[in-house]
Amino acid sequence: MAKKYAMIIDLHQCVGCGACDLACKSENNTPEGINWAHHFTEMSGTFPKVTYKHVPTLCNHCEDAPCVRVCPTLAMHYGKDGLVTHDPSICIGCKSCMLADPYGVISYNPKDAFSDYTSDTSVAIKGGSFSKKELSDRTNAPFPNFNAARGANDYEAIRGKGAVEKCTFCDHRVEKGLAPACVVACPADARIFGDMNDAKSEVATILAANKPTVLLPEKGTKPKVFYVGNYSQGSYNR
């Protein structure tokens, strides 16, 4: 059977630290203002009986993805093993996918993500004394914290302006047998990634033992990011 990758986020385990958000940024070279991994928070109740909920979000790699359906160039498409992937080289930046995506997880690049540090002699940090070029020369890197390994599968390590981008489930890592960066970075072991078509996988086992929820089920998109547990005390099966 073909693989179908999915992610479970255990809200009972999640401590809301944001390590996943940061790990995603540094793994995927996303520019300022663009976050493939994000979260929302909800507070309910009246003081002192207040419940706080932190919910990490990312592309759900929907099985019936509206973003794929509306893309006029097939830039947004179904990739290998159940992933929804994007080809920036044929994206015309029309933003139809962003309008169709009910989850708001697609971002548009209005400008080049980073200036070229190898030739930019402007100051690197406002009020500082060294230039971007000097920083690049001394660290032997085109950009600070640049992850060249992101550039795999014909996908640019840094995407240019005028195209959209979103979470890829770290396909460049998954194909090497590694888990997505957010999964590895989570100190609370709240993210579980794997093949939901493999009945023996941890993902399949947890899905079978719980009543997982998805975001906006009424949209009928069949998300493959599932949530189990909740932030309050209680028993559940993991």
User: Please, are residues 113 and 164 in contact by the beta-carbon 8 Å criterion?
Assistant: no
Pick the closer one to ligand SF4 by CB: 38 or 132. 38
Q: Is 190 in the site for ligand SF4 (CB under 6 A)?
A: no
User: Near ligand SF4 by CB under 6 A, which window of 19-27, 58-66, 146-154, 185-193?
Assistant: 58-66
**Residues 103 to 162: which contact ligand SF4 by CB under 6 A?**
103, 105-106
The reply to whether 30 sits near ligand SF4 by the rule CB under 6 A is no
Binds ligand SF4 by CB under 6 A, chosen from 9, 65, 183, 203: 65
Which one of residues 79, 93, 142, 212 is an interface residue with ligand SF4 (CB under 6 A)? 93
Question: C-alpha 187: how far from its chain's center?
Answer: 17
DSSP-derived 3-state class of residue 78: strand
Count of CB atoms within 10 A of residue 22's CB?
15
CA pair distance 66, 96, nearest whole angstrom = 10
Total residues at interface with ligand SF4 (CB under 6 A): 29
Measured CA to CA, the distance from residue 102 to residue 99 in angstroms comes to: 8
95 binds ligand SF4 per the rule CB under 6 A: yes
Extended strands (E) in the chain: 5-10, 38-46, 49-57, 76-78, 84-86, 107-108, 164-165, 191-195, 225-228
Does 174 bind ligand SF4 (CB under 6 A)? Our answer is no
CA distance linking residue 16 with residue 7, whole number of Å: 17
Cβ-based nearer residue to ligand SF4, 135 or 170: 170
List interacting residues with ligand SF4 (CB under 6 A).
Answer: 59-62, 65-67, 70-73, 75-76, 84, 86, 91-97, 101, 103, 105-106, 164, 166, 221
